[in-house]
DNA sequence: CACTTGACCTGTCCGC
DNA sequence: TGCGGACAGGTCAAGT
């Protein structure tokens, strides 16, 4: 669901729609997901103008000229959908997967002074929104621990390998999903990049060669970039800032393709459970390497 | 320390 | 048709 490419797609959409808009009203009644007080919201959000929309890991940052920021995590079923005045109250625009808003999973509604609105929807309520002083954002627990951005210029194959080798005793899929190792990878892109590098998800890092880790790095960067290009992966819930679905899953090689042939060797793809997650592999291309003594 | 499991939620799907 | 249970999978906390 929302992993790095999906959150980046939302960011790109919002960055084209939000900057310059002034917040006129905020409707929320969700203390668990959006714990700020009414007074906080009135003082630092209402009346403020959006200056930028950024992303770090799977977290969106909407910066305001009040020197506060909205910090938003979509977790599994979160959506941020913008509706301009022309759409509002008149059904949903063409191509949107989402119907009339607000709906029963709308948790927060931001209304701008021109009448346009931004809806935060989250069926399962795992997501969250925080209003924080912008200077305090890097200090939140998650950002203190999270690893490097995989698409940053300085995140080389060497940097990737060096960080993975610190977790030599762990299973590779668990390591890829660990946000403190590398930011932004979730279940979809872990499976896709492991398939690309022909690595079994249960392999211990120590048993994977440097060459294979280099292939994994290359595969990861490739699937992340391709997915951003395709607007992310829509399985059930994920939509972009305009409520539209992403098409990456059309290009997926293993994810959610159990029972179908491996695009490389035609062997039937199977689904396993690894690190508590549904995990998709080609049992021919991806085999557990022999254990190395350590 | 590292790994696994459960919790957080709601909606959907499957079998009986 | 109704109903219970499994499942979806990001992150944190607690347990082994």
Of all nucleotides in the shown strands, which has a C1' nearest the CA of A186? C10
Catalytic residue check, A290:
no
> Residue A89: what pLDDT?
45
Task: Encode pLDDT of A59-74 as tens digits.
Answer: 999 999 999 999 999 9
Mean pLDDT over A237-256 rounds to 92
Report DSSP state, residue A244.
P
Q: Is pLDDT above 70 for A85?
A: no
SS3 A143: helix
Report DSSP state, residue A202.
T
Catalytic residue check, A100:
no
| Of A19, A277, A283, A289, catalytic | A277
Whole-number average pLDDT of chain A: 92
Residue A201, token pair as written in the block: 């998800």
Mean pLDDT over A247-273 rounds to 93
Mean pLDDT over A207-218 rounds to 94
Answer yes or no: are the C-beta atoms of A214 and A174 closer than 8 Å.
no
Asked if A174 CB < 7 A from strand B, the reply is: yes
User: Which residues in A115-274 belong to E strands, given as ranges?
Assistant: 117-122, 128-133, 270-274
> Residue A133: what pLDDT?
96
Q: How would residue A88 be classed by pLDDT, with cut points 50, 70 and 90?
A: very low
> Residue A38: what pLDDT?
95
Task: Encode pLDDT of A132-142 as tens digits.
Answer: 999 999 999 89
Q: Is pLDDT above 90 for A276?
A: no
> Residue A53: what pLDDT?
97
Catalytic residue check, A3:
yes
Question: Where on strand C do bases come within 7 A of a protein Cβ?
Answer: 7-12
Distance CA A115, CA A179 (A): 38
Residue–nucleotide distance: A47 CA to C7 C1' (Å): 43
> Residue A236: what pLDDT?
78
| Of A11, A55, A58, A117, catalytic | A58
Return phi, psi of residue A58, to 5°: -100, 20
Q: How would residue A129 be classed by pLDDT, with cut points 50, 70 and 90?
A: very high
Asked if A32 CB < 7 A from strand B, the reply is: yes
| Of A3, A6, A192, A242, catalytic | A3
Of all nucleotides in the shown strands, which has a C1' nearest the CA of A105? B10
Asked if A104 CB < 7 A from strand B, the reply is: yes
Count of alpha carbons within 13 angstroms of residue A242, beta-carbon side: 15
Residue–nucleotide distance: A23 CA to C5 C1' (Å): 44
Asked if A212 CB < 7 A from strand B, the reply is: no
Asked if A201 CB < 7 A from strand B, the reply is: no
Residues in CB range of A148: below 8 A, 6 or more apart: A154, A155, A159, A163, A182, A183
How large is the angle between the packed helices A210-229 and A187-196, nearest 10 degrees? 130
Task: Encode pLDDT of A8-50 as tens digits.
Answer: 999 999 999 999 999 999 999 999 999 999 999 999 999 999 9
Of all nucleotides in the shown strands, which has a C1' nearest the CA of A275? B4
Q: How would residue A95 be classed by pLDDT, with cut points 50, 70 and 90?
A: low
When computed from its CA atoms, the radius of gyration of chain A, rounded to whole angstroms, is: 20
Distance CA A197, CA A190 (A): 11
> Residue A87: what pLDDT?
53
Residue–nucleotide distance: A188 CA to B5 C1' (Å): 22
Residue A273, token pair as written in the block: 């459970």
**Which residues is A55 bridged to in the sheet?**
A60
> Residue A94: what pLDDT?
54
Mean pLDDT over A138-164 rounds to 93
Global model pTM greater than 0.85: yes
**Best CA proximity match to A72, nearest among A91, A55, A48:** A55
Residue A215: enclosing H or E segment and its boundaries? Answer: helix A210-229
How many CB atoms neighbour CB A179 within 10 A? 16
Least confident span in A82-96, A166-180, A264-278: A82-96
Residue–nucleotide distance: A277 CA to B6 C1' (Å): 14
Residue A168, token pair as written in the block: 């030599």
């Amino acid at each position: 669901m929302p992993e790095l490419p999906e959150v980046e797609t939302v960011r790109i959409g919002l960055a084209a729609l939000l900057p310059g808009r002034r917040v006129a009203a905020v409707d929320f009644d969700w203390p668990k997901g959006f714990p700020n007080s009414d007074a906080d919201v009135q003082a630092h959000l209402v009346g403020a103008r959006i200056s930028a929309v950024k992303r770090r890991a799977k977290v969106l940052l909407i910066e305001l000229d009040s020197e506060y920021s909205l910090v938003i995590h979509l977790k599994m079923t979160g959506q941020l959908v913008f509706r301009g005045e022309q759409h509002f109250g008149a059904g949903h625009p063409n191509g949107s997967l989402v119907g009339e808003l607000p709906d029963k999973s709308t948790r927060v509604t931001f209304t701008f002074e021109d009448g346009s609105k931004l809806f935060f929807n989250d069926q399962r309520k795992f997501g969250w929104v925080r209003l924080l002083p912008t200077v305090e954002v890097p200090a939140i627990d998650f950002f203190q621990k999270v690893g490097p951005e995989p698409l940053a210029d300085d995140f080389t194959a060497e940097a990737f390998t060096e960080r993975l080798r610190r977790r030599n005793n762990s299973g590779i899929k668990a390591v890829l999903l660990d946000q403190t190792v590398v930011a932004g990878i979730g279940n979809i892109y872990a499976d896709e990049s492991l398939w690309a590098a022909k690595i079994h998800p249960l392999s211990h890092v120590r048993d994977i060669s440097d060459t294979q880790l280099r292939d994994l790095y290359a595969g990861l960067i490739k699937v992340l970039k391709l997915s951003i290009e395709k607007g992310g992966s829509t399985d059930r819930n994920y939509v972009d800032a305009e409520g539209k679905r992403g098409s990456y899953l059309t290009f997926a090689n293993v994810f959610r393709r159990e029972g179908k042939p491996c695009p490389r060797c035609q062997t039937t793809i199977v689904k396993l459970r690894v690190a508590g997650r549904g995990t998709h592999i080609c049992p021919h291309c991806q085999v557990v390497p022999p254990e190395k003594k350590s």
